[in-house]
Amino acid sequence: MLPDADTLPEILLDLAVPHQDINDLVALRRTVTADTGVVRLLEECVEELIRDIGEVGVEVPLHERVAEAPAALGPYFTVYVFVAALPHTRAYHRERGVTADVSRRTLADLGRNMAFHRRRHGTGGVEVPQWLTHHFRGELYQLGRLQFERARLGRRTGRAVAVTGLEAMPAEPCLNLHIPDFYGSLSPAACDRSLDLAREFFARCFPHERYRVAVCHSWLLDPQLKRHLDPDSNIVRFQERFEPGRDAGEEPEPADTEPVRFVFGDPDLPVGGLPRRTSVERAVGDHLRAGGHWYIGHGWFPL
Ligand SMILES: CC(C)(COP(=O)(O)OP(=O)(O)OC[C@H]1O[C@@H](n2cnc3c(N)ncnc32)[C@H](O)[C@@H]1OP(=O)(O)O)[C@@H](O)C(=O)NCCC(=O)NCCS
């Protein structure tokens, strides 16, 4: 089920697993393989993860299952699940004509998530196991600067699309955009390139799904950021690509920890001590210290 101890490091490197974690993962491999109960749990997790691989919108409760692993494996158990699932994901990618480069850069988000975990907790582990189920199930692809998740248009965004005259079918396929961390700036040219790559990629690899609309749900689309940032900043220019994805009258839920998580690396940091080195850091912290809230912004644009 798992690659042998000599092969494991190169597979971990392909998944961009941070160097600091590799020796521990190779050493702990025996703790997994020597215990039939753990091997069974691993097999069940992989089986649940890849069941109906490629199907959109299937929720796999991976975070609940990995919590059943022995404490000695700690948050590393999730890594073995993804490593054991890898041959299935790669086979699915090959079947769809996903190139080896796109496949590798997509699945390297495992290492990015582990870097996020280390930045926040100072230890090895996967920060959000659930997030990576999309990658390993063939739903999400990194194409240049952005990640594109095959998704279905929600009721509210569908209504917002329909208002503009573009006929939106309920639950029609759409691409949900994500902006990975640890990837430099979000320049308009990098986004344009990424969108061009996506148009070609999805037409070629998923010709039976017609993607007419891109959507995004992110703290980066909170319109209040415009009040704090330079109009030429990449974040404001990114916002300008989007049409509003919600009715103006709709009451949003505060999501103050979202920008704190993505700007400072830890959603639980006390607001009083947040640094003020860049304009986004000042915007996020000053607004919260003044008693304001941040919200998830929702947007869409035609592809
Ligand atoms: C999205 C992202 C790439 C934008 O960075 P960018 O291209 O530099 O954005 P801008 O040009 O708008 O930045 C404006 C200013 O804010 C700073 N800034 C932007 N993002 C920052 C961040 N995450 N942390 C600290 N400072 C940041 C920039 O350095 C710049 O500072 P300055 O005006 O003092 O020189 C960056 O915020 C990032 O990597 N975020 C993490 C990923 C994320 O949030 N994804 C969305 C998840 S829902």
157: CATH: 3.40.630.120
pLDDT for the residue numbered 265: 96
For 66, the domain range is: 1-138
> Is 159 in contact with 166 (CB distance < 8 Å)?
no
Averaged pLDDT for residues 120-144 = 97
> Is 258 in contact with 230 (CB distance < 8 Å)?
no
Question: Which residues lie below 8 Å from residue 55, measured CB to CB, with a gap of 6+?
Answer: 137
What residue's CA is closest to ligand 1, atom 18?
Answer: 280
Using the predicted structure, report yes or no on whether residue 286 has a pLDDT greater than 90.
Answer: yes
pLDDT for the residue numbered 238: 98
Residue with tokens 């490197």: 13
pLDDT for the residue numbered 34: 95
pLDDT for the residue numbered 25: 98
Confidence of residue 138 (pLDDT cuts 50, 70, 90): very high
| Residue 148 shares a structural domain with residue 111 | no
- Cα dihedral angle (197, 202, 207, 212), rounded to 10 degrees? -100
Q: Give the number of the atom of ligand 1 that is nearest the alpha carbon of residue 218.
A: 48
pLDDT for the residue numbered 74: 85
Helix H or strand E encompassing 177: strand 173-178
Residue 199 φ/ψ, nearest 5 degrees: -60, -45
Using the predicted structure, report yes or no on whether residue 249 has a pLDDT greater than 90.
Answer: no
Q: Which of 249, 260, 237, 254 is nearest to 297 (CA)?
A: 254
Of 106, 138, 170, the residue that ends a domain is 138
Confidence of residue 43 (pLDDT cuts 50, 70, 90): very high
CA atoms within 13 A on the CB side of 120: 20
DSSP state of 183: S
pLDDT for the residue numbered 282: 98
Of 138, 158, 187, the residue that ends a domain is 138
Q: Give the number of the atom of ligand 1 that is nearest the alpha carbon of residue 229.
A: 14
> Is 242 in contact with 157 (CB distance < 8 Å)?
no
| Residue 134 shares a structural domain with residue 193 | no
Using the predicted structure, report yes or no on whether residue 251 has a pLDDT greater than 90.
Answer: no
Confidence of residue 165 (pLDDT cuts 50, 70, 90): confident
Averaged pLDDT for residues 49-56 = 97
Averaged pLDDT for residues 52-67 = 94
Q: How far is CA 80 from the centre of its chain?
A: 19
CA of 52 to the centre of ligand 1 (A): 36
> Is 65 in contact with 48 (CB distance < 8 Å)?
yes
Of 83, 105, 138, the residue that ends a domain is 138
User: To test ligand 1's pocket by mutation, which of 278, 282, 296 has the most ligand atoms within 8 angstroms of CB?
Assistant: 278
| Residue 57 shares a structural domain with residue 12 | yes
The Cα 297–Cα 226 span in angstroms is: 12
Q: Is 274's C-beta closer than 6 angstroms to any atom of ligand 1?
A: no
pLDDT for the residue numbered 170: 80
Q: Is 179's C-beta closer than 6 angstroms to any atom of ligand 1?
A: yes
Q: Model's pTM, two decimal places?
A: 0.97
